[in-house]
Amino acid sequence: MISPATPNSHDEVLMCYEKIMLKYDEGRDGFLDLEELKRMMEKLGAPQTHLDLKAMIKEVDEDGDNKISFREFLLIFRKANAGELLEESGLSKLAKLTEIDVVEVGVNGAKEFFEAKIQELQRSNKFEDEIRQEQEDRRKEEEEKTQRRMAFKEKAAIFQNGR
């Protein structure tokens, strides 16, 4: 979490968030449009559907221009800190992925912090993929077992009918 108690950190934290936003503001117009937000979420490892992206913009778009300004970008984190975002919403995911703890990592450590967050998310995605693969393997084994039983019953029926 951003700690306002950290001396002289407010401007540094704002600069940190500004750098994050500018990194994804490919049009260099000071706004994140739908496509830029989409690419940002994909790069952060939390891709969203088109409708989810539109909902994310709508939730913080104070001026109704269908883009996220820097002020609106900061609003995401204010809402997250105030607990005003749904846990599974795209904005909540964005806030968690870009959360800065100035006391813990320092402003200069923000880059490493974000990289660690992305790696953490990728590890959890890898774990989920492994679980899905195990479930798929079990499902295939059950199908094969069922097919073997049916083949056995067919052969047994041939022998019983042959008497």
Confidence at 108, pLDDT banded by 50, 70, 90? low
For the residues 131-150, what does the mean pLDDT come to? 92
Q: Span 10-109: which CATH code?
A: 1.10.238.10
Lowest mean pLDDT among 2-16, 40-54, 56-70: 2-16
pLDDT at site 41: 86
CA distance 93 to 64: 22
Confidence at 64, pLDDT banded by 50, 70, 90? very high
Q: What is the pTM of this model?
A: 0.54
Confidence at 1, pLDDT banded by 50, 70, 90? very low
Higher pLDDT, 32 or 115: 32
pLDDT at 26 over 90: yes
pLDDT at site 9: 61
User: 55-86: b or e for each residue (b if 16 or more CB lie within 10 Å)?
Assistant: ebbebbbeeeeebbbbebbbbbbebbeeeebe
Confidence at 97, pLDDT banded by 50, 70, 90? low
For the residues 12-19, what does the mean pLDDT come to? 82
Q: Where are the domains of the chain?
A: 10-109
69 secondary structure, DSSP code = E
